[in-house]
């Protein structure tokens, strides 16, 4: 009997997690602001701009998670034909995905996000412009979301709805919020979660 040893993905989990959490923070500080500046040239309503960016983040995580599940199934089907160890099949699958993340069809996810945004009733865009103008933000979010699925446990974003009770542990209030309001009017950025525990707070707008 061979002893099962942890794969490379498990051994590097902590360092990869640290890098991905930092990258998610960088996207908030850099690509998100770039996208907001770009959108403001087309849309004067800051609430609509922030809604668009938040929904782009939510849809990016959804698309990347779907792509990861499909990618993992294909890898498992392929590796199971000749796998003999010493690591478990699941660890071998995870190691392969971590080593070959460049095979992730990120553009396919970007296209899926834009399609979803085009039919989202909460956001609108001038008809002569397309959500593709913020594809750089979407692409970076998809990449980091896909990589976060290779962590043990995986990282995800919090589910948020308009009108939910504002949570101090999950969100920062935006500077233009009514700080006495207890309900979220809309979200600016999602919180990052690990097993339902907040890793990085998101941002929300509270109004009466």
pTM over 0.85: yes
Select from 68, 58, 57 the least CA-distant residue to 147.
68
Domain ranges of the chain: 11-154, 158-207
* CB 63 within 8 Å of CB 162: no
SS3 83: coil
pLDDT, tens digit (0-9, with 9 covering 90-100), for 134-164: 999 999 999 999 999 999 999 999 999 999 9
pLDDT tens digits, one per residue of 51-106: 999 999 999 999 999 999 999 999 988 888 876 666 787 888 899 999 999 999 99
**How do residues 2-35 score in pLDDT, each as one tens digit?**
444 557 778 889 999 999 999 999 999 999 999 9
């Amino acid at each position: 009997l061979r002893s099962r040893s942890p794969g490379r993905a498990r051994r590097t989990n902590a360092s990869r997690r640290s890098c991905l959490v930092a990258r998610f923070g960088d996207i908030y500080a850099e690509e998100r602001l770039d996208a907001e500046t770009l959108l403001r040239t087309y849309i004067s309503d800051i609430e609509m701009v922030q809604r668009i960016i938040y929904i782009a983040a939510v849809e990016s995580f959804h698309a990347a998670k779907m792509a990861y599940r499909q990618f993992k199934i294909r890898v498992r089907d392929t590796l199971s034909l000749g796998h003999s160890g010493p690591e478990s099949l699941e660890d071998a699958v995870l190691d392969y995905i971590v080593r070959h993340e460049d095979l992730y069809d990120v553009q396919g996810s970007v296209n899926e996000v834009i399609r979803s945004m085009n039919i989202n009733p909460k956001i609108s865009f001038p008809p002569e412009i397309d959500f593709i103008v913020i594809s750089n933000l979407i692409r970076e979010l998809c990449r980091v979301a896909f990589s976060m699925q290779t962590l043990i446990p995986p990282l995800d974003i919090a589910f948020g709805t308009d009108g939910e009770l504002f949570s101090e542990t999950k969100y920062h209030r935006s500077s233009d919020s009514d700080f006495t309001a207890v309900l979220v009017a809309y979200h600016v950025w999602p919180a990052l979660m690990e097993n339902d525990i907040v890793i990085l707070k998101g941002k929300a707008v509270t109004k009466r």
